[in-house]
A and B are shown apart, each in its own frame.
Chain A
Amino acid sequence: MGRPGRVEITDVEGESSWYGPSSKLRTMRRTEVGLVGLVVMVLGAVLSGVELGLGVAAGVVGGVLVLSLAAEGFVDRRFGAWGYLERDDDLLIRRGVLIKRLSVVPYGRMQFVDVTAGLVERLFGIATVRLHTAAAATDARLPGLSVSEAARLREQLTSLGEARAAGI
């Protein structure tokens, strides 16, 4: 993604070795945006059609469609920005489109790892892995991993964390 001559903070490691979340996350995000767009479109069309006439209603439908498509594009880019990389001593997590962020969490500093799956996430068969250190500012979070990958990562991180525990 980085254009030549412009250094981005996510250029730390080679592009190839990064893993991304499951494509089910993209499906989930797209469905969410699509459903919201649909509801807004129907409501807007009905209300404006009753109050202002069919021409305006068609305009509203078109506007909402364009906005939804733009939002879908943004959601796709955000999905593409997520990535994680398991190195020998630490885990790298990158995210963000407008504000790019990169977190480095040494395995030895992890206090615990938790896996959560909300109602919608469960419907799509994905889960979120969170890493906690003694620093509250650590915001290492990996959404949209497939359930099996989340379980594997949790086991892996936990055992690595125990092997390299460093305390506070």
Chain B
Amino acid sequence: MQQVFDPPMPPHLPRTWQRLSPLSPLVRLGPSLFGLFVVFSSAALPGHGSFSAWDLVAFVVIGLMGLVSWAVTRWCVDGDTLRVESGLIKRQSLQVPLSRAQAVDLVEPFLARVLGLAEVRVRTGGASRGDARLCYLRQDEATVVRAGLLAVAHGLHEAVPAPPEELLTAVPNGRLIAAGCLTGAIPVSLAAVIALAVLGTTERSILVAGGSGLFAVFVTMALTAWRRISTEWSFTVADAPDGIRIRSGLLSLAAETVPRGRIQAVRMLEPLWFRPFGWCRLELHLAGGVKGGDRQQPARMRRALLPVGSLAEAQLLLDRVLPDRQATLSRPPRRAVIRAPLSYHFLAAGVGNRCAVAISGRVRRETLWVPLAKGQSLRAAQGPVQRALGLASIHLDAAGRHTRATLRDRAAPEAVYLLERLPSWCAVARGSQRGPG
């Protein structure tokens, strides 16, 4: 490191210990303080008048704890290592070598956004426990820190600006709302309403009981739709050198970089109610969760890549995420209809040079691509019905909880052929992937 020859630059990354923003305890404790306030005020409502002294003490104690935890948390950048120290009694020191960082993201929860703060999160591979989180910094400071950390992570000088990214897709919010309201629950609840109306004319009590039940169902449906729409609001996908950058959010903003190497599988969903519009949904399956000896609770492993979009948009994104996904699809033999009477309609699968593809589902057509280089293990199963029909199913497992391409009900000789060849194909794909990077 020939630091001497560098021109004097304003220090972007602090070399000495820094505190987080003094407002950060407010963001962290805000929700719980508000909850406490609601509980106390509702308890104080009937007759008692005002808060008791103990309630105030609880507030003060929680506030003090927040202040202390802010005061003992500090961070700095030491060479190419990000160090975060926290905790008063149980001191924690986290050191993240930035060369190991897979992505540096900005996260802005609602309360932080209101106060002009943001969180910088340095993601390391595998489980989410190794992530270094700086919550919270001022927004302008956070963008500078993020760019600096990103540059150091790539072995560049910290003042090198973040590499440019290419916008791939922006999902219009109108379409997002339409798709959020179009769910499978709608025809079901419509049928329930009609049934209730018919039954209710004869018996009054059914109308009351069913009506209140339906109301609860509607509220949950609305909440689910709201949660989905608000997290996927103003959804954009960009292609950056270090990965796919996904930004979205209505109240809280999240910008996330997904390194290409972490993608274990890509899933395309075409529900029945999307098909008239020619829409589909793309999801990424990411690695993480199962690691080391202990089974950790996996982080969110399925990330939307395209909440709702046309097939052309999906193709464009797929070309960026999985460039060599070509595989010749073939359908299972005709007799498989006995084994899979409903899903036979779309059932198809194929294995290409780099990728295994499986299509399944009837009401919700699902296409799953698993790169052969990501195959962890191969399993085959043959039940009694399949044995009688001369069929077998093959699963290609990728890292994660439920990530697997299932080649369902293939002809048994083909299944045996695949079982014999797939392991070496996977090894070849793995080897050629490791070469260029």
A positions within 8 Å CB-CB of B: 6-9, 11-12, 89-90, 96, 98-106, 108-109, 111-112, 132-140, 166, 168
Contact = CB atoms under 8 A, between A and B. Distances in A.
A9 B382 contact: yes
A8 B290 CA distance: 32
B400 A7 contact: no
Interface residues of B, number: 45
B403 A135 contact: yes
A134 B376 contact: yes
A131 to B, nearest CB: 8
Given A7-B416, A136-B401, A89 B376 contact: no
B419 A138 contact: no
B294 to A, nearest CB: 11
A139 B289 CA distance: 17
A138 B287 contact: no
A102 B287 contact: no
Interface of B: 125-126, 264, 287, 289-293, 374-384, 387, 390, 392, 395, 397-404, 412-413, 415-416, 419-420, 422-424, 426-427, 430, 434
30 contacts: A6-B390, A6-B412, A7-B412, A8-B382, A9-B380, A9-B382, A9-B412, A12-B419, A89-B423, A90-B423, A101-B381, A102-B381, A106-B426, A106-B427, A111-B292, A112-B293, A133-B397, A133-B399, A134-B287, A134-B290, A134-B399, A135-B290, A135-B403, A137-B379, A137-B397, A138-B397, A166-B430, A166-B434, A168-B126, A168-B399
B377 A106 contact: yes
B377 A98 contact: no
A103 B401 CA distance: 17
B397 A135 contact: yes
Nearest to B293: A112
B293 A103 contact: no
A134 B382 CA distance: 24
Given A8-B387, A89-B423, A106-B423, A133 B380 contact: no
Contacts of B125: 168
B381 A99 contact: yes
Contacts of B292: 111-112
Given A100-B387, A101-B381, A133 B413 contact: no
B379 A139 contact: yes
